[in-house]
């Protein structure tokens, strides 16, 4: 574990909405970031934005800044 996770932000995170690349549930990602004291978290699923509202609400509930992105190609 990191000693000072409040200085770290994941900017490339996939959830269950990234077909064949993500496994983590949105609520679990946000809860873990909150446990580690991270101030923000990004969600960058592959070609899908289905989880963005759920992600935004979960981040706001945990006082984490949501960063919404999309991995396109």
> Is the pLDDT score of 1 beyond 80?
no
pLDDT in tens, 10-51: 999 999 999 888 899 999 999 999 999 999 999 999 999 999
For tokens 């960058």, name the residue.
Answer: 44
Burial per residue of 9-38, b for 16 or more beta-carbon CB atoms within 10 angstroms, e otherwise: bbeebbbbbbeeebeeebeebbeebbeeeb
């Amino acid at each position: 574990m990191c000693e000072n996770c409040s200085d770290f932000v994941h900017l490339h995170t996939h959830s269950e909405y990234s077909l064949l690349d993500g496994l983590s549930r949105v609520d679990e990602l946000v809860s873990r970031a909150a446990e580690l004291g991270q101030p923000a978290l990004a969600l960058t699923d592959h070609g899908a934005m289905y989880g963005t509202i759920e992600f935004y609400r979960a981040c706001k509930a945990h006082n984490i800044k949501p960063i919404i992105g999309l991995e396109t190609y």
